Amino acid sequence: MNDNLQTAYGLTGSVSTVEQRNRVLRNTYWLLALSLIPTVLGSWVGMQMGFTWFAANPFIGFMVFMGIAFGFFFAIEKTKNSGLGVVLLLAFTFFMGLMLSRLLGGILGNFRNGSQLIAMAFGGTALVFFGMATLASTMKRDISGMGKWLFVGLIGIIVASVANIWLQMPALMMTVSVLAVLIFSAYMLYDLKRVVDGGETNYVSATLAIYLDVYNVFVHLLSLLGIMGGERD
């Protein structure tokens, strides 16, 4: 009876909720930072091995990538409440590092200022992340309605990217990258705000969502820098 009254008036429930949100947010940040290690390792391994991933047939490569990625998503979601979920998440980030190695190798191999472009993309992504994290923790407005519009934008990016496998239009590639940076930055704010507001209570699921946002902002920002600021040998 007393416990129910205390919860109803927010005497214990609110404190518990705040503590839970802070714990999920803290664990998410720690796991997100940890996930960068296998990503970097996967990128290094991929560049050392000359990982090309169906370079001769990009569409088949894209379909295989999506199949593997969604397999990881399913497995991580099923095991998110156990240590295996963390292991699978880190394995997924290693796989994403392998996928990233082709872009990094192309930037380093084709541009004199490749290292500088990568550093700029990393710095720009870090600025976006800290900006969105700060905004998510301070803004009071409910942005849960953004989800459906962001998803529509995401589908549009995927369709345009697949179409450009055959069209090979630099202008379309650049447009997709610009829109992707904007949409995934907004997704970053949306996913971080869900954790801050208590909409996401599992730090493994939260880390996966935010990792994908950060990864895509970096990839498309690096692509843009390569198009606009790359200095060819």
Q: Which one-letter DSSP state was computed for residue 111?
A: B
Q: What pLDDT digit, counting tens, does each position of 168-205 carry?
A: 888 999 999 999 999 999 999 999 999 999 888 999 99
Q: Is 5 left (phi over 0), alpha (psi -120 to 50) or beta?
A: alpha
Say what the pLDDT of residue 76 is. Answer: 97
User: What separation in angstroms does the CA of 114 have from each of 23, 82, 105, 124, 230?
Assistant: 39, 40, 9, 15, 7
Q: Which residue's structure tokens are 């989800």? A: 147
Quote the domain boundaries for residue 39: 2-229
Q: What pLDDT digit, counting tens, does each position of 79-117 carry?
A: 999 999 999 999 999 999 999 999 999 999 888 898 999
pLDDT band at 228 (very low <50, low <70, confident <90, very high): confident
Nearest to 180 by CA among 149, 212, 154, 141: 154
The predicted model scores a pTM of: 0.90
Say what the pLDDT of residue 144 is. Answer: 86
Total domains present in the chain: 1
Q: What pLDDT digit, counting tens, does each position of 115-124 carry?
A: 999 999 999 9
Say what the pLDDT of residue 56 is. Answer: 66
